[in-house]
Structure 1
Amino acid sequence: MKIILTLLTILCFSVGFSQEKSFSAEALQDVLINTSGSEVTFESVLEMHKGKTVLIDIWASWCKDCIAGFPDLNKLQEDNPNIDYVFLSLDKDTERWKAGIDKYNLQGSHYFIKLGWKGPLCSSIDLDWIPRYILLDESGKIKVYKAITTKNNQLLNQIQ
């Protein structure tokens, strides 16, 4: 009986701590739109932030949980100005996306996910809820794969 309990405990911990360490090739080639209207790949966005810790926030202006989390995100940004903040929007159109950036005064780099939820990026990360936060270290390695609040313990521990 002890062996079974030990194995179950190990299995629970390994599943709980397993996460992706990098993005798939398909995700890296997904097309985003920057605030100037130009198309860029997700890979090129990550390249622009190479050598920096990056917090990716996948959000939408219609998302109540995203909006409710902005005060906590603002506090996190205030406490961690050394992190690059990259916002990826799942809005229905670019006008609503840009209006949301202004309305909520979101500070960071902004991109619109052209193919939305069903595109390569969102599909490859098993996106099932927004907001979704992904933390990358200076080398671009994923440190936190799935957080739905900025108060997530794993996220806060990795930031410090």
Structure 2
Amino acid sequence: MKRFTIIFLILLSSCIVKNESEFSEAALNDVFITLKGDEITFQEILDKHIEKKIVLNIWASWCGDCIRSLPGIIELKSKYPDIVYINLSLDKSITNWKLGIENLQLKGEQYYMKSGWEGPFGEFLHLSWIPRYLVVDKNKKIIVFNATKSTDELIEKSLKK
């Protein structure tokens, strides 16, 4: 029984995602693709929004949970229009990503995660599920790290501040 308890605790602790407050250097230097096909680092994406709070939506057009969460994002945008909303796609191809944006009429900034799930950005997030939401404050500190629902009360609380 003692051996089982130890194994259980080890497995449980390996599933816990540490809440980061700052992006790693590798995550900041990870390369994304713009809708025009240009490459841009995550740092450059953040730098476009000096003194702005940001909601990051990690999603894919094939992800049913991601699509079902879109009304929650639309509601947040209507309540908090001064917030920047950035969508980071894990679609399987750039073509599918662009078709998904068009078909879903997705608003906000759009970027394709070139390095995918296992790249520096995905690794930093310990990505195992999407959708995934982060909120970044005006100083580029992460204030919500591991929300998996657009209706998570932590997201709204952080936007009210």
Deviation of the 1:128 alpha carbon: 1.1
Native 8 Å contact 1:150 1:156 kept in 2? no
Partner of 1:99: 99
Native 8 Å contact 1:31 1:39 kept in 2? yes
Partner Cα distance (2:61, 2:110) in 1:
13
Partner of 2:39: 39
Partner Cα distance (2:48, 2:32) in 1:
14
Partner Cα distance (2:125, 2:150) in 1:
18
Partner Cα distance (1:104, 1:43) in 2:
27
Partner of 1:79: 79
Q: Aligned pairs, how many? A: 144
Partner of 1:68: 68
Deviation of the 1:74 alpha carbon: 0.8
What TM-score comes out, normalization by structure 1 length? 0.87
Which deviations, in whole Å up to 9, do the C-alpha atoms of 1:110-135 show, x marking residues without a partner? 10000100100000111111000000
Partner of 2:157: 157
What TM-score comes out, normalization by structure 2 length? 0.87
Partner Cα distance (2:63, 2:50) in 1:
29
SS at match of 2:117: helix
Deviation of the 1:75 alpha carbon: 1.0
Partner Cα distance (2:76, 2:87) in 1:
14
Partner of 1:90: 90
SS at match of 1:65: helix
Q: State the one-letter code of the partner of 2:67.
A: I
Q: State the one-letter code of the partner of 2:125.
A: I
SS at match of 2:51: coil
Partner Cα distance (1:103, 1:49) in 2:
27
Moved >3 Å (runs of 4+): none
Structure 1 unaligned blocks of 5 or more:
1-15
Bigger Cα displacement from structure 2, 86-95 vs 97-106: 97-106
Q: State the one-letter code of the partner of 1:146.
A: N
Percent pairwise identity: 40
Native 8 Å contact 2:70 2:150 kept in 1? no
Native 8 Å contact 1:21 1:142 kept in 2? yes
SS at match of 1:71: helix
SS at match of 2:85: strand
Structure 2 unaligned blocks of 5 or more:
1-15
CA RMSD of aligned residues (A): 1.2
SS at match of 1:77: helix
Which deviations, in whole Å up to 9, do the C-alpha atoms of 1:99-158 show, x marking residues without a partner? 111111111111000010010000011111100000011111101001011211211111
